[in-house]
Amino acid sequence: MPAEAHRADPLLVDLEAQQVIERIWRRDPSVWPGSSAELEDRLGWLDCPETMPADLPRLADHAGRLRNAGIAQVLLLGMGGSSLAPEMYARTFGAAPGFPSLTVVDTTDPQAIADVTRSLDASRTAFLVATKSGKTTETLSLFHHFYQATRRGTPGRPGDRFFAITDPGSPLVAVAESHGFAKVFLADATIGGRFSALSLFGLVPAASLGVDVRRLLRSAHRARSRCLPDVPVAKNPAALLAAELAGHARTGRDKLTLVLSPGLAAFGDWLEQLIAESTGKDGKGLLPVVGEPLGEPSGYGDDRLFVRVRLAGDSEAEPGLERLRACGHPVISLEVSDVHELGEQIFVWELAVALIGHLMAIDPFDQPNVESSKRATRDAISSFRATGALPEAAQLPSGPDDVGALLVDAAPGDYVAIHAYLPPEPAVRAALEELRDWIRTGTRCAATIGFGPRFLHSTGQLHKGDAGHGRFLQLTWDAPDDLPVPGGDVDRGPSLTFGVLTAALAHGDAAALLRAGRRVARVHLEGDPAAGVRALTAVLRQRTPIEGRSS
């Protein structure tokens, strides 16, 4: 747990004096601003380590059903809280011998969807459709596409290969019934998406992979027992972590840079949503920086806080962290003894983020600015259906020179977020990493990468709800071969495609960012997207005088 307790002490005193831990366990909504009764219905995750073992038999039955049917691959169709925990489990554990692999599809890019569709062996693939609300546009669009693809590709009833995870009474329940889904898993409605890793939203996919779910829950249960009200605050791991992070944020170190063992890399993407969507509102927030290679201490400003999450036995040393510590940058070190102990980290971080909400005087369970982007996207789609064209985002600069203007006056404490509405393939990721590294080195500002629309359900909240120090570079392209969004509840018009949907999502986010007073620039790439990103980086190197500023 955090070692620099001197900085956390006043906040630990605050937590103890106000009996915050006890009040959270009593489901007292007055812990957070607003005191809404709705907050009482957002704390079901506290009991997952206690209640979820009762579901182990049906999770085992589900996994056995997949194996007996000869399923070799499970595609999970979801967004945000419904997809990030399953992806974390898939990347961390992989598939156990004899169990199917699990691939998360959380993109609307036509090329990426077409690539997945072409690779399907429909006779040996099952689908998990996961959405808490049952109304997520991207998820339902993906469902209709893959349902049609399965109906064309295999004999029999396509619904036999589909499973749903959703809240009781959501529209997806009716969709599942009308399409003959094999099973619907009804989750606890008192658990929000980003807090759902230890609920059915996380554990059904984990069980499908053959993960030892019982062991995962046992580790979470041990963490829960160390966070109960009868444990002194100074020994509560979630309280210690929350006080440390909030204490540094109060001094301006609000760029939470995660340094993870390779075996825990996917944990960072899950943490990114948990932290960003929970804290980024009311002009406050912690920006998670995930996947950034460590640089020299001189390349960082005094807005950085480094958190090392190390897997025991990891032989990869991090001398860079010691140099950062020696130069005055705070470093928090956490250790995970085994990947199955990930349950402990999940629970501790969930409670820590809830406590940070109290310490920062924000409601960690709402996401008002995510909704603002959704509204703008719906308006864009309505405009497209009425006119055949998407509206242009007002006053949105476009082109390399506008990107240069976005970067050249970046100030200490700012950050740059790259919003890539591009196929999330390795070549594109590598090109984006090169662009990010150049931005970070030149500006000394934290730089992040998010693939759209995936990031809209995580960091999208923070980008519009924090203190406004973000600068946003939106990258778009047109896939050479678009795909129609089949009918159903999503498309009431004949011409909506995944390309149009992606463009509408980009438009909606840009409109919401501009409405929030953020600086945004867009570059539309032509041809191969990876080559386009590399070409943009080359042009920026030539035209934008930011290199060398860190010296």
Cα–Cα distances (Å) from 426 to 348, 433, 458, 459, in that order, read 32, 10, 21, 21
On whether both 388 and 499 belong to a single domain, the answer is yes
513 assigned to some structural domain: yes
Q: What mean pLDDT, rounded, does the chain reach?
A: 92
Give the pLDDT score at 491: 43
525 assigned to some structural domain: yes
On whether both 448 and 393 belong to a single domain, the answer is yes
On whether both 340 and 389 belong to a single domain, the answer is no
**288 pLDDT higher than 90:** yes
Count of Cβ atoms closer than 10 Å to residue 326 Cβ: 10
User: Which domain-ending residue is among 320, 335, 359?
Assistant: 359
In this prediction the pTM is 0.95
509 assigned to some structural domain: yes
Confidence of residue 8 (pLDDT cuts 50, 70, 90): low
For the chain, how many structural domains are there in total? 3
* Token pair recorded at residue 466: 């924090």
Give the pLDDT score at 4: 45
The CA distance from 297 to 330, in Å, is: 11
The CA distance from 164 to 102, in Å, is: 15
Mean pLDDT, to the nearest integer, of 17-38? 88
228 assigned to some structural domain: no
Which amino acid is it at 96?
A
**207 pLDDT higher than 50:** yes
For 386-432, what is each residue's pLDDT tens digit?
888 888 755 677 889 999 999 999 999 999 999 999 999 999 999 99
The CA distance from 151 to 135, in Å, is: 23
SS3 state of residue 226: coil
Residue in 346, 341, 330, 217 with CA at minimum distance from that of residue 273: 346
Maximum distance among all Cα pairs of the chain, rounded to whole angstroms: 66
Q: Which long-range contacts (CB under 8 A, 24 or more apart) does 173-177 make?
A: 173/134, 175/134, 175/140, 175/143, 175/488, 175/489, 176/129
Cis peptide before 97 (omega within 30 of 0): no
For 476-513, what is each residue's pLDDT tens digit?
999 999 999 987 444 454 478 999 999 999 999 999 99
On whether both 323 and 342 belong to a single domain, the answer is yes
Chain-centre distance for alpha carbon 211: 21
On whether both 484 and 535 belong to a single domain, the answer is yes
User: Which domain-ending residue is among 359, 393, 410?
Assistant: 359
Give the pLDDT score at 6: 43
Concatenating the DSSP letter of every residue in 91-128 gives: HHH-PPTTSPEEEEE----HHHHHHHHHH--GGGEEEE
Give the pLDDT score at 289: 98
For 214-251, what is each residue's pLDDT tens digit?
999 999 999 999 999 999 999 999 999 999 999 999 99
Q: In which domain, by residue range, is 207 found?
A: 47-211
Q: DSSP class of residue 180? A: T
Mean pLDDT, to the nearest integer, of 96-118? 97
Q: If residue 76 lies in a helix (H) or strand (E), which one and from where to where?
A: strand 73-77
Mean pLDDT, to the nearest integer, of 120-134? 95
Confirm if 127 and 102 have CB atoms less than 8 A apart.
no
On whether both 181 and 248 belong to a single domain, the answer is no
Exposed e or buried b per residue across 208-221, where buried means at least 16 C-beta atoms within 10 angstroms of its C-beta: bbbbebeebbbbbb
**203 pLDDT higher than 50:** yes
On whether both 429 and 534 belong to a single domain, the answer is yes
Give the pLDDT score at 342: 96
Confirm if 518 and 468 have CB atoms less than 8 A apart.
yes
The CA distance from 409 to 470, in Å, is: 12
Mean pLDDT, to the nearest integer, of 449-453? 97
Give the pLDDT score at 333: 93
**H helices within 5-136, ranges in order?**
5-17, 20-25, 48-51, 56-68, 84-93, 110-119
28 assigned to some structural domain: no
On whether both 352 and 376 belong to a single domain, the answer is no
- Which residues are paired to 368 by β-bridges? none
On whether both 349 and 373 belong to a single domain, the answer is no
On whether both 195 and 51 belong to a single domain, the answer is yes
On whether both 507 and 381 belong to a single domain, the answer is yes
Contacts of 362 by beta carbon, 8 Å cutoff, 6+ apart: 32, 33, 279, 281, 282, 284
CATH number of the CATH domain containing 307: 3.40.50.10490
Contacts of 173 by beta carbon, 8 Å cutoff, 6+ apart: 134, 164, 166, 184, 186
101 assigned to some structural domain: yes
* Token pair recorded at residue 342: 């990930």
Confidence of residue 41 (pLDDT cuts 50, 70, 90): confident
For 305-339, what is each residue's pLDDT tens digit?
999 999 988 766 577 898 999 999 999 999 999 99
Give the pLDDT score at 50: 97
On whether both 320 and 450 belong to a single domain, the answer is no
549 assigned to some structural domain: no
Give the pLDDT score at 388: 83
Give the pLDDT score at 5: 45
User: Which domain-ending residue is among 318, 341, 359?
Assistant: 359
Flag the least confident range among 118-122, 142-146, 165-169. Answer: 118-122
24 assigned to some structural domain: no
Mean pLDDT, to the nearest integer, of 368-381? 86
